[in-house]
Structure 1
Amino acid sequence: MTFPRLIAALTMTLAAAGSQAYDFKSVGAAPVILYDAPSTKGAKLFVVPRGAPLEVVVAYGEWLKVRDVNGELAWTEAKGLSAKRTLIVKTPNLKVRATPDDAANAAFTADKGVLLELVESVASGWIKVRHRDGLTGFVKSSEIWGI
């Protein structure tokens, strides 16, 4: 392969990797263990509680390399995750709005670290969410993690 072709091939490979869409999943009914390698023989790093969102970075057979809300990378078994989408509040005393508007009344307030269920994405960076108590409202995508 000639040098210009090699450069072109590498450029296209990097462009494709950079445009890869990441997937989010949530921990299923039971907490999952995060390992330092894709094996139960790897060192156990963390236990993630049920419902917590994880960003899937790489799939390797029945194992997934995931990123947590703190940015830590680790491996977990795919069978422990669910397609249900949850989000984590990033800011203290987040006002969850009744409508997707900064001036809207607060439907409820959620503290930092609270899990919310993703209901739907709305235009202009707003996300419709549901609290486990059944309350619904809208938050900006910059105020939550898991989207």
Structure 2
Amino acid sequence: MGVLLLASAAGQAAEFKTVGTAPALLYDAPSTKGNKLFIVPRGAPLEVVLTYGDWVKVRDVTGDLAWTPSRGLSARRNVIVRTPNLKIRASEDETSTVVFIADRGVLLELGEPGANGWIKVRHRDGLAGYVRGTDIWGN
């Protein structure tokens, strides 16, 4: 039975949320009485691992786990660039025109998925293009 549970959990897509308008404070327990661990800037994506009442256990881009109140998170989706000098392309092709270059750690708004592992993203200045899903985190 444990194998079936593991198999079904592995088949589920990760759930991501974005830190809302204020930075999120992350704790070591689902309570404000817990130790404060990190502050995550607004707009940063977090993977939701577990929900417990009004709290969520989240994983950040570095893989660290912590708790934060769910009210501080938004359904809006952002991603973080994982690759230095990532080329954002005009279409879903390595040979297409480079629209702009984003450095590692830059936040981009997640757009719709494209073909063959490509994903549309948009920079806050309005420039948009496509990247490979493996070059970003939070998708």
TM-score per shorter chain, which class?
A: over 0.9
Q: Any stretches of 5+ residues in structure 2 without a counterpart?
A: none
Distance 1:10 1:91 in 2: 36
* Structure with more of its chain in helix, by fraction: 1
2:22 — aligned with what?
Answer: 30
Q: Any stretches of 5+ residues in structure 1 without a counterpart?
A: 1-8
Whether 1:114 aligns to 2:103 is: no
The alignment yields a C-alpha RMSD, in angstroms, of 0.9
1:137 — aligned with what?
Answer: 129
| TM-score relative to the length of structure 1 | 0.91
1:102 — aligned with what?
Answer: 94
4+ long deviations beyond 4 Å:
none
Question: What per-residue deviation string (whole Å, max 9, x for no partner) do you get for residues 91-139 of structure 1?
Answer: 1111100111000110001010000001111121000000000000000
Shift of 1:22: 1.9
Trace 1:1-147 onto structure 2 (pairs within 5 A).
Answer: 9-147=1-139
Secondary structure of the residue aligned to 1:45 is strand
| Paired amino acid for 1:19 | G
% identical equivalent positions: 63
Secondary structure of the residue aligned to 1:41 is coil
